């Protein structure tokens, strides 16, 4: 039993934030964000528009696309980077918002930019048991405001919701393989403290992974007493190395060459990472899908956004082979092969 993509949906906030707005605030020459990151603009959630609102909106579109009623969903997996509340997890809020049946499992995952593939892996395993027939994977990312205060990543992130409906099949299609990896050695290079952690509390001992982030805050206080640290050069090198290796491994495991894949869908972190991975693997550039320009880095929502855009442009045809790969701070990364 394999899981197949029965429906895809996305939701974007109305507000568009252009590079010019950020370049004025952050300084630097005009056009540097586009030239360095490949991002033209990004979306920003409205006041009071939470991550689970975006995720639920996307889920409604995905359900309609699949022709599935909310009552048919028997498993919900929700992913976000910034939880709307410390307690409870947002999965139950999405369940309530959509009017899904009371009593179904609603799981929350926190796997950063690799969250979509981790969630799909979990849903695939549940569907394989045949205890569940229809899974809804939802990503609700409200990143812009949370990262805007930290200048090194302020231009990178955008807000978005994305969702997929997954069902089981015995046909020769669907998720052929998914592989997930973790290496906690990277924790300190991409880290945001919890809202309830006071970085200035003299009575609290700073955990070793937060030492640099707290030092950064003390040198340049943010608008909130929340510590952030993003070491772009270290993250870049690891993202390129891990994504390239994972892509090679899954291709080799299935006896495939790079030309056997119809479309490559890499997490949209920045154009440098996507282009470097493509160069190292010698991928045909016209088979690597991108959408950094209009959305920026939407974390776990980026690959389902790519899927939705490709479907809308009628690029996905039965029998095609897709390779998806994402890397996240932590470090966490994953790769998957999918037959349309």
| pTM for this predicted structure | 0.93
Residue pLDDT, tens place only, 225-269: 788 888 999 999 999 999 999 999 999 999 999 999 999 999 999
Q: Determine which one of 53, 113, 134, 146 is catalytic.
A: 113
Active-site residue, 267 included: yes
Residue pLDDT, tens place only, 1-55: 999 999 999 999 999 999 999 988 787 778 889 999 999 999 999 999 999 999 9
Task: Output the CA torsion sign for 216, 222, 15, 31.
Answer: negative
Active-site residue, 53 included: no
Predicted pLDDT of residue 144: 95
Query: Distance between CA atoms of 76 and 100, rounded to whole angstroms?
Result: 9
Q: Which two tokens stand for residue 339?
A: 């037959």
Predicted pLDDT of residue 28: 74
- The helices-and-strands tally (H runs, E runs) of the chain is 11, 14
Active-site residue, 113 included: yes
Q: Determine which one of 79, 134, 146, 267 is catalytic.
A: 267
Average pLDDT over residues 148-172: 93
Per the prediction, the chain carries an average pLDDT of 93
Query: Which segments of the chain are extended strands (E)?
Result: 2-11, 15-18, 41-44, 75-79, 106-109, 134-141, 160-169, 174-182, 190-192, 228-230, 263-266, 288-289, 321-328, 332-339
Could you tell me which residues are beta bridge partners of residue 8?
A: 164
Domains along the chain with CATH numbers: 2-172 (3.40.47.10)
Average pLDDT over residues 161-185: 96
């Amino acid at each position: 039993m394999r899981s197949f993509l029965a429906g895809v949906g996305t939701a974007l906030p109305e507000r568009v934030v252009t590079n010019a707005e950020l370049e004025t605030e952050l300084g630097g020459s005009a056009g540097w964000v586009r030239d360095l990151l490949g991002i033209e603009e990004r979306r920003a959630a409205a006041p009071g528009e939470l991550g689970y609102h975006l995720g639920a909106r996307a889920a409604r579109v995905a359900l309609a696309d699949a022709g599935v009623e909310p009552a048919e969903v028997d498993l919900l997996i929700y992913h976000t980077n910034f939880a709307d509340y410390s307690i409870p997890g947002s999965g139950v809020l999405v369940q309530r918002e959509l009017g899904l049946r009371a009593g179904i499992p609603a799981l929350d995952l926190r796997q950063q930019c690799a969250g979509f593939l981790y969630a799909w892996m979990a849903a695939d395993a549940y569907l394989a048991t045949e205890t569940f027939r229809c899974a809804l994977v939802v990503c609700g990312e409200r990143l812009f405001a949370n990262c805007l205060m930290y200048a090194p990543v302020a231009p990178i992130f955008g807000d978005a919701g994305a969702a997929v409906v997954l069902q089981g099949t015995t046909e020769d299609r669907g998720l052929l393989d998914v592989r997930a990896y973790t290496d906690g050695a990277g924790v300190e290079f991409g880290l945001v403290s919890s809202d309830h952690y006071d970085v200035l509390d003299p009575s609290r001992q700073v955990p070793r992974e937060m030492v640099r982030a707290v030092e950064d805050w003390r040198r340049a206080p943010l608008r909130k007493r929340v510590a952030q640290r993003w070491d772009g050069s270290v993250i870049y090198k690891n993202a390129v190395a891990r994504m390239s290796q994972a892509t090679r491994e899954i291709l080799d495991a299935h006896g495939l060459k790079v030309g056997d894949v119809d479309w490559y869908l890499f997490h949209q972190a920045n154009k440098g990472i996507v282009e470097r991975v493509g160069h190292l693997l010698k991928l045909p550039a016209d088979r690597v899908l991108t959408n950094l320009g209009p959305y920026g880095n939407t974390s776990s929502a980026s690959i389902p956004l790519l899927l939705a855009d490709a479907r809308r442009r009628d690029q996905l045809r039965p029998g095609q082979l897709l390779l998806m790969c994402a890397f996240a701070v932590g470090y966490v990364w994953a790769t998957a092969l999918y037959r349309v």
